[in-house]
Structure 1
Amino acid sequence: MKRVTLLLSIILFLFIVGCSKDDEVTPHNQFDTFVDHWNDQVFSQMYEMLTPETQQEYAVDEMVDRYTKIYEDLKISDLNISYTKLSEEELEIALEEGTATLPFTAEMNSMAGPISFEYEATLELQGEEEEEMKWYVNWDPGFIFPEIKDGGEIRITTTDPIRGEILDRNQMPLAINDMVWEVGIVPAWLGDNEEQNKEKIASLLNMSVEQIDTYLNADWVQPDYFVPLNKLIPKSEEELLNELWAIDGTDGREVLGRVYPLGEAAAHVVGYIRQITAEQLEEKDPAVYGPNDMIGNTGLERAYEERLKGDKGVRIYVTKDGEEEVTLAEKEVQNGEKIVTTIDANIQEEIYNSYDGEAGTAAAIDPKSGETLALVSSPSYDPNEMVYGITQSKWDSLQNDPKTPLLNRFTATYAPGSVIKPVSAAIGLQNGTIDPDEGLEINGLTWSNGEGWGEYEVTRVSESNGPVDLTDAMVRSDNIYFAMQAVDMGGKAFVSGLEKFGFGESIPFEYPITASTVSTSGALNDQVLLANASYGQGEIEISSLHLAVAYTTFLNNGNMLKPALLESEKTGEVWQEELISAENAEIINESLRKVVTDGTASYAKNASFPISGKTGTVELKLTLDEEDGAQNGWFVGYPSDDQDILIAMMVEQVQDLGGSSIAVEKVTDVLEKIK
């Protein structure tokens, strides 16, 4: 009998070994397939490989659905299951006994970081007939995580990061985290006029009574509980807060919120955050953003969202009654990065306030370092209202305002008028078509270059006494002089010079600024268009920042500096070098001083220190034949001696404000206040 049993065992062993060569019934082969399904997260096919006893104990949903939900909730990725194969001797024993134990290691990434564990898989050889015998896996929840083998719940806790603050060059706050009021209702305090009070609260908070009722009807609410309405209001909104506190039922508590101390003065450059939209949520990593998260919507808040937001802290752990919590993975919270800019809050406010509600844009830089000191767009809006819920009436007012306060003007380009003339002069000096000492004979107030121009004529504001040289043309802002010089050098040469000054390319700047353009086509093949471009009319357009940067050429021996916005950037870097010689740069610099002492910027003579600069008045014509109408006024000015700040300012619709002289007054007054 013993011989018969031994013979049958040998036959079975030889049968199984023979099959193993065909990769059919070895425990290794079966577990390889099981692991492949696991790595691919095909849990339904894993379930089909479980022993009948396991399937009887754990229904499909208890394994397949649980795997799916846990892996989705924990954001499991990069799953890798590996195991140790049996030795020849161990395999022989397993085949004889019909059971095999395979130690395995599971490695994966999760929303809280890497998770790994070791466990054992037991496989059983089952089947009624020898040719139907297969290895099946004895599965239990420990395959998911060993800590839940005998029960327990997997939980996730998150810690929100503190958003990084935005500071100016002197560490003054531009966007900070400060205490704000979270407004809510205590139901028992609403009194007899409950519906009327809810209507008042809803109106002030720009929400519906139905929304308020949704919060008040939550299961956890008790009559004497504080029920937050998901509305935060900065403490600076005293009038609104006083109206709210006067209504029966309202209450508040202090919480941390985003505050913009400069308000309207820096709204366009700093921007604001708001609750993430459904569309944005679809585009973002769900491990980073949730439906209640705030996200940078405009300005620096948007440009540096990734650096400012920080990274949530996440802990994945197992809880079990009567036992200590077991942490599976944990990622420490990373607070947002502090962004320190080169902006000077005092200069930003002074320039913005100088507009006094007028529309326009300005950029202030340090012309020796390239640091941006201010980027102003006027009129503006209060970013604090945008964050915490602007009323519909206020929003309608902003949208319908003819001065378009929501428009960010400093990112846009405009016709520069005569403030472009120093650039035109530099191009001619560099390519040799302009001799600074040569005087051009110009007669009268108009000039045409022949029949090809039709009836169009270039006009100037004053007649000259004798030939007009470069300095005289700059001081009197003589359009005809620059038109003649541009026509003489030709469109290709002039365009080439403008391109060297950065026209047609993006400014190397941290904040997105519209590229300045020579014309709609990028060429100046038409003489009239060329002549107009030379004195800043026609189709040429430039941003206030680019204009300010262009003037650094005349204060840095012919080198145009690269603008900087962050404290961490290198300063004094050259964007375009040797645009003109140091000698010619000084000629233009000296002429800009004479514009103030003897020319069109005479108001600046009132300053307590010498100022240099150039004025420009832009005729806003839709066609070359259109009658004169609205005007924009420009002034680019800087202290002649210190040369530590340069302001390029444009004021819109100056035809009734004295033309470009209003810009001269504003820049001069700002320089007086900050010096």
Structure 2
Amino acid sequence: MKKLLLFVVMLIVVAGCSNDEEPIVLPHDEMADYIALWEENAFDQMYQTDLTEATKETFAKADYVDRYRNLYNDLEVKSLSVDMTDSDDNIASLKESIDETDRYTMPLQISFDTLAGTIEYETDVIMEKVTTNKNGEPLEQEKWLIQWKPSLILPNLEQGEKVAIERTSGRRGDILDRNGNALATIGEVYEIGITPNQFEEATLDQLSANLRVSSSYIQNKLNQSWVEPNFFVPITQISIDQQDTVATITQLEGVTTRVKMDRVYPYGKAAAHLTGYIGPITASELEEHQDKGYDSSDVIGKRGLEQLFEDQLRAKDGVAIVIEKHNGSTQSVVEQKAQDGQTIETTIDMNLQETLYGIVENEAGTATIMDPKTGEVLSLLSFPAFDPNRFVMGMTSSQYDELVTREGQPTLNRFAATYAPGSTMKVLTSLVGFQQGELNPEEVETIEGLRWQQDSSWGDYYVTRVNGNVTNVDYETAMTYSDNIYFARLGLDIGRDAFVTGLNQLGFGESLPFTYPLPESQVSNSGSISSEGQLADTAFGQGELLMTNTHLATIYAGVANDGQYMEPTLLLNDEQSVWKNDIVTDKQNQTIQDALRQVVVNGSASDINIDNKTMAGKTGTVELKADQEVENGKQNGLFVSYDQSKRDMVLSLLIEGVQDRGGSGLAVQLSKQFFESYE
């Protein structure tokens, strides 16, 4: 009897211990599991295992799972974080009354990132204790299920309400000249379209001719998969000032126009290479800029300043996530406002640039105008040019192919190329000669004939000059008549290493400190001078020496500015600073200026000796041939000039293909037309 009583007591104790050790199932445990699935986007399993039966009766599985998945995809939901924010006191109280508690309100803190920004909010979720399955059979272990509601997707979202994404466009920044004139801006253009069920096929060729696109191009537009008979089908865009074309084509049945806003380039060809243009982003560009938020429907700067300042000019579109409420109102959940691009203000004076372009537009070459006192680049021109508006408004592949293969290469940006400077190099050789102590301007050289060589070791190589009548040649005479032999001898006196050192001090072999990236000017292909013949050639502007036209203009601007070489600038608000100083003495610099004046008064640039101006400058003709035996090769003509009475702008002009057209004299004539247009 005592043994039996002891056994019962032990059983009661064990049972009591077992009951004490049985884990308490809290709603927090179930919610933790639900949150884990939620953060993994396991919507199927969330629906299947964690929702109350009443919730499932209200929301079908497809409604729940598909809506979650579709909205999370459309809203680009990332970095989901869900936290239970219940207090320790509430949890302790719940444990004490857990047996009597069938419902519990769980506070949640929810946050996630979307395409419109971060959403953060608090909400309460009702959880129900369940002890039997839906057939009324007891569960092995009770569990807590969730009374789900749409506000767990977005704050304040109710059953049956729609979620919408609203987008607003930002405005791409303008590119302006120094006077506020727009080089690139947003403006009105005509969009030409066809309504298929009204269009007469017989007028296709007429429309094609007026729009300058092929008939097949128009047909392809009309055959796009989305086209319906009564839709407006955009074909192309044309400039807002092409009113005559609009009047003609809108007389055709089914052809209509509408005005839209797009990128426009008011100066067209006159600023084309400077501004560049925008166009649809390519797959390779999308990959290159993959961390900058572009998508396949975006446009991007393709060339020129549009490309160089893409990050600043680019606008950011606005996007908002809104709920369309039952009463017809909309409620914004989160919004990222549109951001306009920055305005880029340049130092360019389009009055000057447009005037100059009108003078040279039928030529091939490049020009730079610089203010020597400030370093501001007033004009940066490459010609011939293209109309950047054509790239924005639409260009067929055949039109593009025709443009890039057209004679004169209008798509080639010549101000971003390097050229042999010809005899304009003689100013640089003068600077190095003065600096190295090898140039005595009063010393007279005896030079006879048109050809000269140092000695017989030069073989068949000779330096030639144009004027063989002058025998006694000092510095001013050599500059006036552009004497190659004088400057070849000066180069030899300086010596190869010293000459290269002097040119490097003038910016060769380094990037010009200029906003627009230009190639480095080079002394030679190797960066050194390997022979006396190469040194002689280099000293008077032939050889392998190459410069950008802007670099050449910068050197001459320094001479015009009394020996102070300013950094060339392209942005209006850039700090003006000295690039090079004390290259030569004030007296030596004045000697060069005096010689440049004599080139105009008595020398090769006498045609620009304009009344009421004190023009000065240096001509240069470059023979583009592999050896001296070639005759009638292609020539480039250069002329760098300025008015010594004003010194407000230096014009460096290079014209290609001047052979049989007066050589550098053509560049002088064109420069004269420009300076005569300004009093």
Match of 1:158 in 2: 167
- Would the alpha carbon gap of residues 317 and 459 (structure 1) be closer, same or farther in structure 2, given more than 3 Å must change? same
Query: Residue 92 of structure 2 aligns to which amino acid in structure 1?
Result: E
- Cα distance in 2 between the residues matched to 1:418 and 1:134: 94
1:14 to 9, 17, 21: 21
Q: Percent identity?
A: 36
Aligned to 1:606, the other structure's residue is in SS state coil
1:96-495 alignment, distance < 5 Å: 96=99, 97=101, 101-121=105-125, 139-187=148-196, 189-190=198-199, 194-202=200-208, 204=211, 206=213, 208-214=217-223, 218-219=227-228, 222=230, 227-238=232-243, 240-281=245-286, 283-284=288-289, 289=294, 291-390=296-395, 394-463=399-468, 465-495=470-500
Kept in 2: contact 1:348–1:373 (CA 8 A): yes
- Cα distance in 1 between the residues matched to 2:251 and 2:398: 21
- Would the alpha carbon gap of residues 40 and 603 (structure 1) be closer, same or farther in structure 2, given more than 3 Å must change? farther
- Would the alpha carbon gap of residues 154 and 466 (structure 1) be closer, same or farther in structure 2, given more than 3 Å must change? same
Match of 1:514 in 2: 519
Kept in 1: contact 2:429–2:539 (CA 8 A): yes
Aligned to 2:676, the other structure's residue is in SS state helix
Counterpart check, 1:92 vs 2:98:
no
Kept in 2: contact 1:16–1:26 (CA 8 A): no
Deviation of the 1:183 alpha carbon = 1.2
Kept in 1: contact 2:623–2:636 (CA 8 A): yes
Kept in 2: contact 1:199–1:209 (CA 8 A): no
- Cα distance in 2 between the residues matched to 1:94 and 1:469: 113
Based on CA coordinates, which of the two structures has the bigger radius of gyration? 2
Residues 247-256 or 283-292, more deviating: 283-292
- Would the alpha carbon gap of residues 547 and 39 (structure 1) be closer, same or farther in structure 2, given more than 3 Å must change? farther
- Residue by residue, what CA displacement relative to the aligned partner does 1:296-323 show, whole Å, maximum 9, x if unpaired? 2222222222322322121110113335
How many residues get paired? 657
Aligned to 2:473, the other structure's residue is in SS state coil
Deviation of the 1:9 alpha carbon = 9.3
Match of 2:654 in 1: 650
Query: Residue 168 of structure 1 aligns to which amino acid in structure 2?
Result: D
- Would the alpha carbon gap of residues 591 and 142 (structure 1) be closer, same or farther in structure 2, given more than 3 Å must change? same
Kept in 1: contact 2:190–2:239 (CA 8 A): yes
Kept in 2: contact 1:630–1:654 (CA 8 A): yes
Structure 1 gap segments, 5+ residues each: 18-24
Kept in 2: contact 1:182–1:232 (CA 8 A): yes
Kept in 1: contact 2:632–2:659 (CA 8 A): no
Counterpart check, 1:637 vs 2:644:
no
Deviation of the 1:509 alpha carbon = 1.9
- Cα distance in 2 between the residues matched to 1:489 and 1:545: 26
- Residue by residue, what CA displacement relative to the aligned partner does 1:557-576 show, whole Å, maximum 9, x if unpaired? 433211111222123x1123
- Cα distance in 2 between the residues matched to 1:105 and 1:14: 32
Counterpart check, 1:75 vs 2:82:
no
- Cα distance in 1 between the residues matched to 2:54 and 2:479: 93
Kept in 2: contact 1:273–1:297 (CA 8 A): yes
Residues 630-639 or 57-66, more deviating: 57-66
- Would the alpha carbon gap of residues 29 and 656 (structure 1) be closer, same or farther in structure 2, given more than 3 Å must change? farther
Residues 540-549 or 502-511, more deviating: 502-511
Residues 656-665 or 550-559, more deviating: 550-559
Deviation of the 1:270 alpha carbon = 1.6
Deviation of the 1:414 alpha carbon = 0.9
Match of 1:662 in 2: 666
- Would the alpha carbon gap of residues 533 and 43 (structure 1) be closer, same or farther in structure 2, given more than 3 Å must change? farther
- Cα distance in 2 between the residues matched to 1:188 and 1:63: 43
Aligned to 1:648, the other structure's residue is in SS state strand
Deviation of the 1:375 alpha carbon = 1.1
Query: Residue 174 of structure 2 aligns to which amino acid in structure 1?
Result: E
- Would the alpha carbon gap of residues 394 and 187 (structure 1) be closer, same or farther in structure 2, given more than 3 Å must change? closer
Aligned to 2:22, the other structure's residue is in SS state helix
Deviation of the 1:235 alpha carbon = 2.5
Kept in 1: contact 2:384–2:408 (CA 8 A): yes
- Cα distance in 1 between the residues matched to 2:12 and 2:74: 53
Deviation of the 1:658 alpha carbon = 0.2
Kept in 2: contact 1:607–1:668 (CA 8 A): no
Residues 576-585 or 157-166, more deviating: 576-585
- Cα distance in 2 between the residues matched to 1:9 and 1:672: 113
Kept in 1: contact 2:447–2:470 (CA 8 A): no
- Cα distance in 2 between the residues matched to 1:454 and 1:354: 45
Kept in 1: contact 2:246–2:257 (CA 8 A): no
- Would the alpha carbon gap of residues 628 and 52 (structure 1) be closer, same or farther in structure 2, given more than 3 Å must change? same
Query: Residue 421 of structure 1 aligns to which amino acid in structure 2?
Result: K
Query: Residue 385 of structure 1 aligns to which amino acid in structure 2?
Result: R
Counterpart check, 1:615 vs 2:619:
yes
Normalising by structure 1, report the TM-score.
Answer: 0.88
Match of 1:21 in 2: none
Aligned to 1:418, the other structure's residue is in SS state helix
Kept in 1: contact 2:84–2:109 (CA 8 A): yes
Kept in 2: contact 1:198–1:212 (CA 8 A): no
- Would the alpha carbon gap of residues 46 and 504 (structure 1) be closer, same or farther in structure 2, given more than 3 Å must change? farther
- Would the alpha carbon gap of residues 148 and 576 (structure 1) be closer, same or farther in structure 2, given more than 3 Å must change? same
Deviation of the 1:100 alpha carbon = 5.5
Residues 199-208 or 532-541, more deviating: 199-208
Query: Residue 652 of structure 1 aligns to which amino acid in structure 2?
Result: E
- Would the alpha carbon gap of residues 48 and 531 (structure 1) be closer, same or farther in structure 2, given more than 3 Å must change? farther
